[in-house]
Structure 1
Amino acid sequence: MNCERLSIRNHRHVIERIIIKGTLVLDTPTCLGSGDVEGDTDLVILRDSVEDKALLMGSSIAGALRNYLRDYEYGYNAEEICVLFGGQRSEEEGEQSPLIINDAISNTIPHVELRDGVKINSITRTAEDGQKYDLELLEAGTKFDISFELIIENNREKLIRELVIVLQGLESGKIPIGMKKQRGFGRCHVEEWQVWKFDLQKSDERLDWLNFEHWKLGLFSSYPIHKSIEEALGLFLDEKEDKRDRLTIHSTFTLASPLLIRSGQASSDKAPDVVHLKSRRNGEFQPVLSGTSLAGVLRHRAERIVNTLQKNTSIIDEIFGVDFSKDKTKKAKVSRLIVHESVIKKSNDLVQNRIAIDRFTGGALHGALFNEQPIFGSDKTELKLELELRQPKPHEIGLLLLLIKDLWTGDLPVGGTSSIGRGRLQGKTATITLALENKSWNITQASENEPLIIDNSEDLEKFVDALNEEVAA
């Protein structure tokens, strides 16, 4: 490049740089797929080629943060006006993002969980041909050392505010990463932060930035550690600034009958033929109700309700999304309903022996003896279900209320072998919240034989009426 071209080049006038490091911890199993289809499973995790540790791409973090910032500032599906991530791909003369996000590798060689899934026919309630898959997941508790660098030319206050928004969302567990986020995978939070500020208009701080050990992973033991990014950057957010329109349902259930969600991997050679799905949490395997299983059950029951009301099932696609690979007649659409994975606390594992019966002779089929290990509940058994619907409409809220009612009364079983009485839940408490309208309702039931106590039941009834009006329309 000659001197003349250098003189007319539009150089960036950087006045400040801020470096941020943190420790990100996975709260639920996470799918960081590599796209490689030649492994033992349909989808394997992305690994570092040198150390065989899990690799979290900076582009994956950036995409999750960018979407969250847009939703937080302007609401879902709004036009993007933020400056933190530069111009959009559609812009011919977009600007480079002032935020640099580095790739991160896990602190240790990760433990991997194998999960399998299958599409169930809503009419026959059996598995569809060719719709079985399996995938690798990073177990909960895996840690990554993440690193950011903010380059400031102008708009300092706006840049730092937007940076605090996205990092506070990451810190508090509001921003999942990886694949299948709508089904509970990829939830995470940040435990600790360290922040360095360099005023490049001062010669000594320019030298400090040049001598900074950018390559060093992890937190610096000789530098202050902050639990809150708001405190570290000196800017505190107002919760009222959040423009995300969403309905959240936090409910507590117990097991009214045994529950069996089949696991795709046996813990040992001597394990029963079928065991309940477990996930490693806090160093031990705990039984879970997966978000994929619960979402499938809710979708099938929603279809049944809508068909009974003689309404077009497009309302189901609007809530649960459309998978183009499974139905090429429809346009792909992401699910607006987020169904989180739930840990089942204080349950018991018992093995039951079963045998298949020949329907013609009435006798036992030869070689058809098998054993299963479902989980059984007690008075202390508890699982918390968490649902979130983005951009809720009144009739959609009404449909979700009917689904929660069916779960609550045990009319809607979850998991497998429901035909022999398994998978029934019993509701205990529920809190329903409409974020933008700042409204909430509480539902409690002390025991199965006690009456329901509902706050402002008339308001909830209006949502169900809206569903009936939608059907009439």
Structure 2
Amino acid sequence: MPGSRDDRQSRIFVYDARIGQAEVGIRDGVKLNEDKTASHMGKYELQFVERNAPIKIRIEMIEREDCFEKAKSEITGRERAEEIEQVWDRERQWIYLWLKGFESGELRLGARSRRGFGKIAIDHARTKAFDMRKSDSYKEWLDWDWEQADAFEGAGSETIRIEDLEQAGGAGREHCLEVLLRISGTLLVRTYAVAFTRTEDIPDYGQMTVGGHGKQAVIPGSSWAGAFRSHLAKTVQELLRQPDWKEAQKILNPLFGTWSDTEMRNQELHASGLIFEETVIDGGHGLPAARIAVDRFTGGTVQGALYEEIPWTGGEIILPIRWRKNGLNLTDDEICGLLLWAVKDLQAGILAVGGETSVGRGIFEPVHGKDNLFLDGAVLTEEDQKRCMQAAVLWVKGNRKKENTR
């Protein structure tokens, strides 16, 4: 119980992480309804740190007497030194696990981590150990500072290589479905960051890019999740002949999180079980275009209705979708099968992503001449795909039967 004699202070200290040279951006978001129009009060904005910002994570670990199996009086100094080394090896494995979790994406920082935010790439990691039994080491610790140029040099210092992380166990706690896609036409995931700073050389809106510099187009994880959920909800409606949009959404709650509106304020909320990565498009370029509204009666242009946009054309992407093993009340085949329903329609051009899909934007196709579907790094065969999609059908129908028996 809190305040009891058994309470102990944590021996792990986590310092504030410093983000250097951070480029802060603002991103628009909107909640769409069944007709793919904005829901009432569904508009929002979020502020975030752009990718490739350097960050330092600092952790301090203290080895107390209770970390050792034997008391100091029971063993010799040499045996104690050997046990200290064993304890440090054990602690090193924890460090490896943390680093590997960040590197693989299983550990993330901050909010909206299931929609592509908070992923960290490890550049390098260093450790420094101080043996408080030795006076020289103790004095060194008193004068030591994180910011010293030689802080991680000398005795007790170690640099951890990324290759060394493979030694750590406990990895692979997530499944990852990867889809290779190519933009067959144009794509427009709008950004309105310049809407209120309109000048002659800036379009009304354009494709979202990394840092807003127009060099690398990006598709947010929220766009992927919204497109997949909406499409799967319609598929579930057709499969169950369920006319109620809300009921179809409830079936998908374990995968995408609780779907709610103003009428469902008091319901229990659940986080999404799927992680949709933010994808950067490899290749392609912006395609400036001007459009104007036409009067349907006269056939002439509407005054003041001219606007400019820059959609993105060409390029390839790898879309990773993750979920934790045994983390949901569905089997891996059922989860994979549900995702494959949407992936197949995405590859066929039936499911479009982004804005202006009614005029042909946001259509993808498989990358020709390559394998396009991978599960945990291995090619997903046609037989495996059929098995998974059949399992998904049985799950949806079984879920409907459970609802009817309640």
Q: Is the 8 A contact 1:198 1:205 kept in 2?
A: yes
- Report the 3-state secondary structure (helix = DSSP H, G, I; strand = E; otherwise coil) of the residue aligned with 2:62: strand
Deviations, residues 415-472 of structure 1 (Å, cap 9, x unaligned): 10000111100112434325xxxx9434xxxxxxxxxxxx2x2232122111222233
**C-alpha distance 466-103 of structure 1, shift in aligned 2 (>3 A):** same
1:271 equivalenced with 2:202 (yes/no): yes
Selected match of 1:131 from 29, 33, 42: 42
Task: Provide the rounded CA distance (Å) in 2 between the counterparts of 1:252 and 1:470.
Answer: 27
Which residue is 2:401 aligned to?
A: none
Which residue is 1:432 aligned to?
A: 374
Deviations, residues 180-211 of structure 1 (Å, cap 9, x unaligned): 11111111122122211111122222222222
Q: Which moved more, 1:156-165 or 1:132-141?
A: 156-165
Amino acid across the alignment from 2:171: D
Q: Is the 8 A contact 2:128 2:152 kept in 1?
A: no
Q: Is the 8 A contact 2:189 2:207 kept in 1?
A: yes
1:292 equivalenced with 2:222 (yes/no): yes
**Map of 1:149-160 to 2, 5 A cutoff?**
149-153=60-64, 154=67, 156=87, 158-160=90-92
Which residue is 1:343 aligned to?
A: 280
Task: Provide the rounded CA distance (Å) in 2 between the counterparts of 1:350 and 1:236.
Answer: 43
Question: What's the offset of the Cα at 1:325?
Answer: 7.4
CA RMSD of aligned residues (A): 3.0
Q: Is the 8 A contact 2:122 2:162 kept in 1?
A: no
Task: Provide the rounded CA distance (Å) in 1 between the counterparts of 2:148 and 2:16.
Answer: 11
Which residue is 2:120 aligned to?
A: 188
Which residue is 1:376 aligned to?
A: 313
Which residue is 1:105 aligned to?
A: 18
Task: Provide the rounded CA distance (Å) in 2 between the counterparts of 1:217 and 1:119.
Answer: 48
Which residue is 2:379 aligned to?
A: 441
1:118 equivalenced with 2:30 (yes/no): yes
Task: Provide the rounded CA distance (Å) in 2 between the counterparts of 1:91 and 1:336.
Answer: 37
Task: Provide the rounded CA distance (Å) in 1 between the counterparts of 2:366 and 2:389.
Answer: 19
Selected match of 2:177 from 212, 234, 249: 249
- Report the 3-state secondary structure (helix = DSSP H, G, I; strand = E; otherwise coil) of the residue aligned with 2:230: helix
Task: Provide the rounded CA distance (Å) in 2 between the counterparts of 1:92 and 1:424.
Answer: 63
Give the gaps of 5 or more residues in structure 1: 1-86, 443-454
Task: Provide the rounded CA distance (Å) in 2 between the counterparts of 1:464 and 1:301.
Answer: 15
Which residue is 1:461 aligned to?
A: 386
- Report the 3-state secondary structure (helix = DSSP H, G, I; strand = E; otherwise coil) of the residue aligned with 1:306: helix
More strand by share: 1
Which residue is 1:387 aligned to?
A: 321
Amino acid across the alignment from 1:288: V
Which residue is 1:197 aligned to?
A: 129
Question: What's the offset of the Cα at 1:227?
Answer: 4.7
Question: What's the offset of the Cα at 1:279?
Answer: 1.1
Which residue is 1:419 aligned to?
A: 358
More helix by share: 2
Amino acid across the alignment from 1:423: G
Amino acid across the alignment from 1:318: P
**C-alpha distance 375-242 of structure 1, shift in aligned 2 (>3 A):** closer
- Report the 3-state secondary structure (helix = DSSP H, G, I; strand = E; otherwise coil) of the residue aligned with 1:338: strand
Amino acid across the alignment from 1:291: G
Question: What's the offset of the Cα at 1:321?
Answer: 0.3
Q: Is the 8 A contact 1:323 1:333 kept in 2?
A: no
Which residue is 2:267 aligned to?
A: 330
Pairs aligned (count): 357
Selected match of 2:159 from 226, 232, 245: 226
Selected match of 1:301 from 208, 227, 231: 231
Q: Which moved more, 1:387-396 or 1:460-469?
A: 387-396
Aligned sequence identity (%) = 29
Task: Provide the rounded CA distance (Å) in 2 between the counterparts of 1:105 and 1:279.
Answer: 22
Q: Is the 8 A contact 2:198 2:204 kept in 1?
A: no
Question: What's the offset of the Cα at 1:93?
Answer: 5.2
Deviations, residues 40-87 of structure 1 (Å, cap 9, x unaligned): xxxxxxxxxxxxxxxxxxxxxxxxxxxxxxxxxxxxxxxxxxxxxxx9
Question: What's the offset of the Cα at 1:329?
Answer: 4.8
